[in-house]
A and B are shown apart, each in its own frame.
Chain A
Amino acid sequence: MEGGEGRRAGGEGSGRLSALQEQLVWSLLGSGLSKELLIQAMGDLERERGSAGGERTDRADGESSEEGEMDNPPPIFHDLERLPPEEAARQRAEVDQLLQQDPWHVAKIVKSYMQQHNLPQREVVESTGLNQSHLSQHLNKGTPMKNQKRAALYSWYIKKQTEISQQFTNASRGVMSGEESGEDVRKGRRNRFKWGPASQQILFQAYERQKNPSKEEREGLVEECNRAECLQRGVSPSQLAGLGSNLVTEVRVYNWFANRRKEEAFRHKLALDVPYSSQSASSTGQTLSSSPSPGLKYSQSVLCESLGTMRSSSGEDRGGGGRLASPVQLEPSHTLLDAHHLKPVSCGGSLPPVSTLTSLHGLSGSSAAPPGLIMASLPSVMSLGDSSLLIGLTSSQPQTVNMGGGFTTLQPISFQQQLQASPQQPIAQQLQSHIGPSSFMATMAQFPCHMYSKADLSSYPSSSLLSQAMVIADSNSIGTLTNLTAVRQILTSDPEGHTDTPIEEESLHLQSTSPEPVSSGSLELYPQTQTSETHPSHLLSSSPGDIDPYIPTQMVSTAQ
């Protein structure tokens, strides 16, 4: 266009204004704007725009280290609200002051600030360009950090402080929207929500009261948690906006409860598998029976896995962890023992009461008549040396044996003695004599425990014996029991010397189908149909598989 003349023509006039600018200013003035208002507005606008540009230059100089790696230009610079001259200078002064102080001292300050406001390290890393590992080590352990990097860190800290105080004060003014959109531009997404310790405490307490709160209750919890979080940050409880991405909402509370419920169910499931794993755990280093049934090995490995996961899951689970560690393991056995003193006696007299089971740990090789008790208790798997009757007592296992208050009785099966090598023969025989298939089965029917026994016991202990080993569990725990109540007897010693009626396979299969006749030598204890779970053998086989999907990776999480 024909701009040249225009430019020249417009070039005269007021000092530094171009003709058009002048025109525009006049237009503005003519549009009803008072001069003062115009000047004020101009000042504000200038600050905004100027700060963006001014800060860019600031950053380029003083904080280039901060963003230098990311970008010298200002991609991260969004602090349009800052007054370039005053604010920037003030902040730089504060940073310098921090740099003078002891780095570790300042690190503690920064770290505690981050904890107080539940800020993720990721945010710091993104906006400072520091290495996340280095940052973590510096803040937590005092690993030295060079001054330039510390300056970047402190700058972020100062900036964040002003940001947060702005958030808190501007909340009512709706400035938040500006902040948020700025933030989005900054990182493309908000910080991931994180539960603060104060909120979690409130939630766990509520969880104890009721696992499934209604919407109203959830909303009440939302209020409570937000109040607590604000207090933690030293702010009035009504300044919710300052919480930013860590604001507790009803959806988040809902998800939290859903996740806890899933976790608990998972722990229950794992607890069932504990005996298996404990068995193998305790038997490491012990001769785990030269010839355990394959199933036994399998289940052992299964338990190992489940145990491992149990441990890890219980380790992670803060609130629930305590619950997991219930000392059920030995107690039920004790009760059982007490209750069934007689049985062993009746059987064979030489069978000591189950209470001695605990001493079974040291049984291996002992020639004394250790109670040939198979603790159909969840926790115990003991391995008796060569005889390899494994009944593990895993007191260390964090298992919830008492699922919902479950066991009523755990009765040990006092097979034991016979299984042990020679010394146990008489007992074995006695035991054998007692077994009647029907009775056995009958007992077994009630015995939701998986027992693995490798056969010494041809005709397995009589029903009387078995009844001792009955595990009577609540129906709701049956399901768990099917996994948990695996008392395995690994009889390694050869049966020949012991039994008249050789038991080919003393393995107690976890099957819900009807057992083979005992006389054939196989003891099969079936976790009865009471089991809510499916086929017990399936449990074994599938437990590893089960565990994985069961792992609360399916936890609900909010979309950010």
Chain B
Amino acid sequence: MEEREHILPMIRNAQWVEVVGRDAIYKEFLFKDFNQAFGFMSRVALQAEKMDHHPEWFNVYNKVQITLSTHECGGISQRDITLATFIDQASVY
């Protein structure tokens, strides 16, 4: 629930951007095709369930746009950061 200012820069470096008008981070992923994209999404989904923290995302064919935010605190929390890290790892799987 607490924002860690020292972590955000790391995320920013990983191409996650802060959403305007809202306390959330966003990133867009492009894959070779739908299967890969959906495979990626499956991995993320499994992890999200494990963490009980789910992304807001949009998928069209090989593109996946993800926004992470924590509802309870209305902004970025550690869980978002953790999930973001995992997502990055999953995207290069």
A interface with B by C-beta (< 8 Å): 1-3, 5-6, 9-10, 18-20, 22-24, 26-28, 30-32
Q: How far is the CB of A25 from chain B (nearest CB, A)?
A: 9
Q: How far is the CB of B43 from chain A (nearest CB, A)?
A: 4
**Contact A10 B60, beta carbon cutoff 8 Å:** no
- Of A20, A22, A24, A31, which is within 8 A of B50 by CB? A31
CA distance A20 to B40 in the complex (A): 10
CA distance A24 to B50 in the complex (A): 16
**Which residue from chain A places its CB closest to the CB of B49 in the assembled complex?**
A31
B46 on the A face (CB < 8 A): yes
Q: A1-B61, A9-B32 are in contact. Are A23 and B38 (CB under 8 A)?
A: yes
- Of B34, B39, B60, B61, which is within 8 A of A27 by CB? B39
**Which residue from chain A places its CB closest to the CB of B42 in the assembled complex?**
A27
* A10, A24, A27, A28: residue with the most chain B Cβ atoms closer than 10 Å: A27
Q: A1-B61, A26-B93 are in contact. Are A9 and B39 (CB under 8 A)?
A: no
- Of B35, B50, B90, B93, which is within 8 A of A9 by CB? B35
**Contact B35 A23, beta carbon cutoff 8 Å:** yes
CA distance A10 to B36 in the complex (A): 8
CA distance A2 to B62 in the complex (A): 10
CA distance A28 to B36 in the complex (A): 14
**Contact A23 B61, beta carbon cutoff 8 Å:** no
Q: A1-B61, A26-B93, A31-B50 are in contact. Are A6 and B34 (CB under 8 A)?
A: yes
**Contact B47 A20, beta carbon cutoff 8 Å:** no
**Which residue from chain B places its CB closest to the CB of A1 in the assembled complex?**
B61
- Mask, B68-93, CB within 8 Å of A = 1, is 00000000000000000000001001
CA distance A31 to B90 in the complex (A): 10
Which chain B positions have C-beta within 8 A of A3? 34
B33 on the A face (CB < 8 A): yes
CA distance A18 to B39 in the complex (A): 12
Main secondary structure of the interface of B (DSSP, over half): helix
CA distance A9 to B61 in the complex (A): 13
- Of B33, B34, B39, B60, which is within 8 A of A24 by CB? B39
**Which residue from chain B places its CB closest to the CB of A8 in the assembled complex?**
B33
**Which residue from chain A places its CB closest to the CB of B43 in the assembled complex?**
A27
Which chain A positions have C-beta within 8 A of B36? 19, 23
Within 8 A of A (CB), among B25-61: 32-36, 38-40, 42-43, 46-47, 50, 60-61
Which chain A positions have C-beta within 8 A of B33? 5-6, 9-10, 19
Which chain B positions have C-beta within 8 A of A24? 38-39, 42
CA distance A28 to B46 in the complex (A): 8
**Contact B46 A23, beta carbon cutoff 8 Å:** no
B interface with A by C-beta (< 8 Å): 32-36, 38-40, 42-43, 46-47, 50, 60-62, 90, 93
Jot down 18 A-B pairs with beta carbons below 8 A, ordered by A. Answer: A2-B34, A6-B33, A6-B61, A9-B32, A9-B35, A10-B34, A18-B35, A19-B33, A19-B36, A20-B34, A22-B39, A23-B35, A23-B42, A24-B42, A26-B39, A26-B93, A27-B42, A30-B90
Which chain B positions have C-beta within 8 A of A22? 35, 39
Which chain A positions have C-beta within 8 A of B38? 20, 23-24
Which chain B positions have C-beta within 8 A of A6? 33-35, 61-62
**Which residue from chain B places its CB closest to the CB of A10 in the assembled complex?**
B35
Q: A3-B34, A6-B33 are in contact. Are A31 and B93 (CB under 8 A)?
A: no
- Of B32, B34, B47, which is within 8 A of A31 by CB? B47
Q: A23-B42, A24-B42, A30-B43 are in contact. Are A1 and B35 (CB under 8 A)?
A: no
CA distance A1 to B43 in the complex (A): 22
**Which residue from chain A places its CB closest to the CB of B60 in the assembled complex?**
A1
CA distance A18 to B34 in the complex (A): 12
Which chain B positions have C-beta within 8 A of A19? 33, 35-36
- Of B39, B47, B50, B60, which is within 8 A of A23 by CB? B39
- Give me the 5 closest cross-chain CB pairs, A-B, nearest first: A23-B39, A31-B46, A27-B42, A19-B35, A10-B35
**Which residue from chain B places its CB closest to the CB of A13 in the assembled complex?**
B35
Q: How far is the CB of A31 from chain B (nearest CB, A)?
A: 4
CA distance A88 to B67 in the complex (A): 51
Q: A30-B43, A31-B43, A31-B47 are in contact. Are A1 and B93 (CB under 8 A)?
A: no
**Which residue from chain B places its CB closest to the CB of A33 in the assembled complex?**
B46
**Contact B46 A27, beta carbon cutoff 8 Å:** yes
CA distance A241 to B92 in the complex (A): 52
Which chain B positions have C-beta within 8 A of A28? 42, 46
**Which residue from chain B places its CB closest to the CB of A26 in the assembled complex?**
B39
Q: How far is the CB of A349 from chain B (nearest CB, A)?
A: 107
**Contact A1 B46, beta carbon cutoff 8 Å:** no
**Which residue from chain B places its CB closest to the CB of A5 in the assembled complex?**
B33
CA distance A449 to B36 in the complex (A): 98
CA distance A493 to B33 in the complex (A): 113
Which chain A positions have C-beta within 8 A of B42? 23-24, 27-28
CA distance A20 to B61 in the complex (A): 12
| Known contacts A9-B33, A22-B35, A26-B93; 20 further A-B pairs (Cβ under 8 A) | A2-B34, A3-B34, A6-B33, A6-B34, A6-B61, A6-B62, A10-B34, A10-B35, A18-B35, A20-B34, A20-B38, A20-B39, A27-B40, A27-B43, A28-B42, A30-B93, A31-B43, A31-B46, A31-B50, A32-B50
